């Protein structure tokens, strides 16, 4: 009798006396003994071409079966395609995580247009029985990716109810893509994912294309599936409740999603759990570093139509209840300005007892080549302080049309009314530095054990290179004015600044783009006493001040000598984020108790 524990191959088909028959084969000797099983597996002409052993096995391991019986026993069958000459690249991903932990996502960096097939096989390492077959509704989705490793446009989706899944043949242009594998119903706490990437072109001939795993928030799995529903699901408008209902049906799977078109409703949190301190970050490593130092943490998700969502981490630091969130993007584009300001406003609207706001993350030091007291190095931290302003944002420049020279800057500047944070740092002394080092080391230990392949420890000191720009894009490596310091990383107080993109003025200052922009930055920093530059948090600071929060500060871990998010700063970014988060915790622990 046919076994349900074996795979059978379809060797051929025929029609005999009006009956459609399948010729099946297996490595098992359990064979069909019903109708049509007496039919010889092969005719005499074919048997004469086989070896003696194959002739003996042909009747033991192959048989004929009618189509009616075939569909009764086989409710699932796969159609294979011979891809002669295709090459394959295999990877094994071991997953061990708790619910809510970040996830590893396969990232493809494609240099030249290529053809691929991607397969994944999920093996749960905590099966109750060795022969237990665990099946899940699987989605294998491929998205365009941005620089923050977030899901962009959905360009391909595959779905199966199984433990294995494969994409169709896909053609990818040059760019960066995320391959999101979602197993609905799997807790994913201990499993092994076997990946196979196949291509007709040898991988070593595909330029500098690369495959790697990146760490992303767990919400990326939900975001990816939501994009499938919104693109391929059946949408029904419900005018009465102002919602859109998406319905999607797949193999043994049905999903319904309700998209709320109403305005945001405020979150409700018990009075004794209301946070009084808010922490805002932008990069994922910044949010990871902050979350690692929050005790008794829990997570709240808030969704809005159009795929926009907010994730809030609630918990405790010292005696204070805190809430942390991450901005979707930052910069001077209209989209970034609107998004960052809106997320900040909603944060302070949802949690209306906030008294202190910390904007925590990486930044770029403004180097001083001669004065050690004004020179911050990589791994140091700069806390914004009123000198005379905490934050200065140059949104445009003053341009003399006659001389075609930049004569100044149009700026928005901000300073907190309540100087409590600034005073804590000013009076902290060596005690604050020691506490900061201890907390940072604790954060690095926690992050190193849970945050995948990110390196949180400080890179070698030899990588802290100070370069001075000279003409025509050349640079000269300069010694640090405090190269002989033995005290380790330092805490600085000063003005933090940012600039809008000013490439349109590059021709008026230097011979090249880098020369022009470098001189603009230097002029801006010198005029306003800027100690640190960041990626542009003007809309965030404006939303904080506009929400009548009197006590706030920016804490910038130094990762480069530009604006914190340059390519050169990637090496120090994670450590600088941990340094900034550690500083935030030390200050929060010293804040006075709320009334």
Q: Whole-angstrom Cα distance, residue 592 to residue 586?
A: 13
The position carrying tokens 């900034």 is 580
What pLDDT score was predicted for residue 128? 45
Q: Fold identical between 87-230 and 277-590?
A: no
Count of CB atoms situated within 10 Å of the CB of 224? 23
What pLDDT score was predicted for residue 173? 86
What pLDDT score was predicted for residue 151? 85
What is 277-590's CATH topology?
A: Rossmann fold (3.40.50)
Q: Whole-angstrom Cα distance, residue 425 to residue 410?
A: 30
What pLDDT score was predicted for residue 400? 74
Which segment of 69-73, 218-222, 270-274 scores lowest on mean pLDDT? 270-274
Name which of 351, 394, 369, 372 is nearest 482 in CA terms: 372
Beta-carbon contacts of 445 under 8 Å, excluding residues fewer than 6 positions away, are: none
Name which of 100, 210, 220 is nearest 154 in CA terms: 220
Domain ranges of the chain: 8-73, 87-230, 233-260, 277-590
C-beta of residue 2 within 8 angstroms of C-beta of residue 32 = yes
Torsion angle, CA of 500/505/509/515, rounded to 10 degrees? 60
Torsion angle, CA of 429/432/434/437, rounded to 10 degrees? -130
What pLDDT score was predicted for residue 303? 57
The stretch 492-517 carries a mean pLDDT of 67
Q: What pLDDT band is residue 264 in, cutting at 50, 70 and 90?
A: low
Q: What pLDDT band is residue 511 in, cutting at 50, 70 and 90?
A: very low
Pairwise pLDDT comparison (208 vs 494), residue with the higher score: 494
What pLDDT score was predicted for residue 5? 64
The position carrying tokens 């397969």 is 119
What pLDDT score was predicted for residue 266? 53
- Res 305 pLDDT > 50: no
Q: Whole-angstrom Cα distance, residue 157 to residue 16?
A: 41
What pLDDT score was predicted for residue 510? 47
- Res 263 pLDDT > 50: yes
What pLDDT score was predicted for residue 595? 61
Phi and psi angles of residue 154, each rounded to the nearest 5 degrees, phi first? -80, 120
193 CA to centre of own chain: 19
Q: Whole-angstrom Cα distance, residue 383 to residue 385?
A: 6
Q: What pLDDT band is residue 557 in, cutting at 50, 70 and 90?
A: very high
Torsion angle, CA of 88/94/95/96, rounded to 10 degrees? 180
C-beta of residue 37 within 8 angstroms of C-beta of residue 58 = no
Helix, strand, or coil (residue 340): helix
What pLDDT score was predicted for residue 51? 82
What pLDDT score was predicted for residue 77? 67
pLDDT > 90: what percent of the chain? 35
For residue range 434-464, list pLDDT tens digits in order: 999 999 999 999 998 875 678 999 999 889 8
- Three-state helix/strand/coil letters over 415-438: CCCCCHHHHHHHCCHHHHHHHHHH
What pLDDT score was predicted for residue 82? 66
The stretch 484-489 carries a mean pLDDT of 82
The stretch 152-169 carries a mean pLDDT of 89
For residue 321, give both structure tokens.
């209840």
The position carrying tokens 């960052």 is 340
- What is the CA angle 151-156-160, rounded to 5? 105
CATH class, 87-230 region:
mainly beta
Which segment of 31-35, 241-245, 303-307, 420-424 scores lowest on mean pLDDT? 303-307
Q: What pLDDT band is residue 507 in, cutting at 50, 70 and 90?
A: very low
What pLDDT score was predicted for residue 206? 58
Pairing of strands 391-400, 491-499: parallel
Q: Whole-angstrom Cα distance, residue 340 to residue 338?
A: 6
Q: What pLDDT band is residue 269 in, cutting at 50, 70 and 90?
A: low
For residue range 374-413, list pLDDT tens digits in order: 899 999 999 999 988 999 999 887 877 777 777 788 899 9
Q: Whole-angstrom Cα distance, residue 456 to residue 441?
A: 10
Q: Whole-angstrom Cα distance, residue 235 to residue 231?
A: 9
For residue 253, give both structure tokens.
């799977």
Considering 43-57, 248-262, 383-397, 401-415, the range whose residues carry the highest mean pLDDT is 383-397
Pairwise pLDDT comparison (506 vs 278), residue with the higher score: 278
Q: What pLDDT band is residue 44 in, cutting at 50, 70 and 90?
A: confident
Helix, strand, or coil (residue 58): helix
C-beta of residue 271 within 8 angstroms of C-beta of residue 260 = no
The stretch 29-39 carries a mean pLDDT of 84
Phi and psi angles of residue 145, each rounded to the nearest 5 degrees, phi first? -120, 145
Q: What pLDDT band is residue 555 in, cutting at 50, 70 and 90?
A: very high
Q: Whole-angstrom Cα distance, residue 556 to residue 425?
A: 14
What is the chain's mean pLDDT, rounded?
A: 84
The stretch 42-56 carries a mean pLDDT of 82
Beta-carbon contacts of 24 under 8 Å, excluding residues fewer than 6 positions away, are: 8, 9, 10, 11, 32, 62, 63, 64, 65
Which segment of 42-56, 119-133, 532-546 scores lowest on mean pLDDT? 119-133
Q: What pLDDT band is residue 257 in, cutting at 50, 70 and 90?
A: confident
Which segment of 29-43, 115-129, 262-276, 316-330 scores lowest on mean pLDDT? 262-276
Q: Whole-angstrom Cα distance, residue 238 to residue 305?
A: 14
For residue range 210-235, list pLDDT tens digits in order: 888 888 888 888 889 988 988 888 88
User: What is the DSSP code (8-state) at residue 459?
Assistant: P
- Res 502 pLDDT > 60: no
Could you give the C-alpha distances from 506 to 343, 502, 513, 516, 561, in angstroms and in order? 33, 7, 6, 5, 20
C-beta of residue 505 within 8 angstroms of C-beta of residue 518 = no
């Amino acid at each position: 009798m046919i076994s349900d524990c074996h795979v059978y191959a379809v060797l051929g088909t025929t029609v005999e006396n009006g009956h459609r028959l399948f010729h099946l084969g297996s490595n098992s000797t359990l064979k069909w003994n019903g109708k049509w099983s007496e039919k010889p597996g092969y005719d005499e002409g074919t048997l004469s071409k086989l070896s003696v052993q194959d002739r003996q096995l042909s009747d033991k391991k192959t048989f004929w079966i009618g189509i009616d019986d075939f569909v009764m026993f086989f409710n699932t069958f796969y159609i294979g395609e011979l891809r002669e000459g295709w090459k394959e690249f295999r990877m094994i991903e071991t997953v061990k995580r708790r619910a809510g932990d970040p996830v590893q996502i396969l990232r493809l960096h494609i240099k030249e247009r290529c053809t691929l097939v991607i397969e994944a096989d999920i093996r749960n390492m905590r099966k109750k029985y060795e022969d237990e077959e665990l099946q899940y509704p699987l989605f294998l989705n491929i998205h365009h990716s941005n620089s923050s490793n977030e899901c962009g446009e959905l360009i391909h989706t595959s779905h199966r109810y199984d433990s294995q899944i494969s994409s169709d043949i896909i053609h990818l242009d040059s760019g960066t893509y995320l391959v999101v594998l979602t197993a609905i119903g799997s807790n994913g706490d201990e499993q092994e994912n076997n990946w196979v990437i196949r291509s007709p072109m040898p991988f070593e001939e595909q330029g500098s294309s690369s495959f790697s795993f990146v760490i992303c928030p767990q919400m990326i799995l939900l975001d990816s599936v939501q994009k499938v529903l919104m693109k391929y699901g059946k949408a029904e408008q419900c005018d009465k409740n102002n919602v859109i209902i998406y319905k999607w049906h797949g193999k043994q799977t049905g999903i319904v999603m309700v998209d709320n078109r109403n305005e945001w409703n405020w979150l409700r949190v018990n009075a004794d759990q209301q946070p009084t301190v808010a922490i805002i970050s932008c990069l994922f490593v910044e949010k990871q570093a902050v979350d690692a130092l929050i005790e008794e943490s829990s997570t709240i998700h808030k969704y809005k139509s159009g795929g926009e969502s907010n994730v809030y981490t609630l918990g405790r630091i010292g005696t204070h209840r805190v809430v942390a969130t991450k901005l979707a993007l930052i910069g001077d584009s209209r989209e970034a300005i609107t998004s960052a300001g809106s997320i900040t406003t909603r944060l302070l609207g949802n949690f209306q007892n906030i008294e202190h706001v910390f904007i925590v993350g990486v930044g770029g030091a403004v180097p001083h080549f001669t004065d050690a007291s004004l020179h911050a190095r990589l791994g140091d931290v700069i806390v914004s302080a009123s000198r005379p302003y905490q934050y200065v944002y140059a949104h445009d420049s003053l341009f003399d049309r006659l001389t075609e020279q930049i004569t100044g800057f149009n700026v928005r500047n901000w300073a907190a009314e309540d100087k409590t944070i600034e005073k804590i740092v000013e009076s902290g002394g060596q005690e604050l530095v020691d506490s900061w080092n201890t907390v940072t080391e604790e954060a690095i230990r926690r992050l190193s054990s849970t945050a995948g392949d990110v390196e949180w420890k400080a890179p070698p000191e030899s990588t802290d290179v100070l370069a001075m720009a000279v003409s025509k894009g050349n640079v000269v490596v300069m010694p640090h004015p405090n190269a002989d310091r033995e005290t380790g990383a330092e805490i600085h107080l000063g003005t933090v600044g940012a600039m809008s993109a000013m490439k349109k003025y590059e021709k008026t200052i230097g011979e090249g783009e880098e020369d022009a922009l470098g001189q603009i930055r230097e002029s801006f920093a010198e005029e306003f006493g800027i100690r640190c530059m960041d990626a542009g948090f003007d809309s965030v600071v404006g939303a904080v001040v506009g929400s009548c929060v009197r006590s706030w500060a920016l804490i910038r871990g130094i990762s480069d000598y530009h604006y914190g998010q340059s390519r050169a700063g990637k090496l120090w970014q994670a450590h600088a984020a941990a340094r900034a988060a550690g500083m935030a915790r030390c200050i929060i622990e010293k804040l006075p108790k709320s009334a």
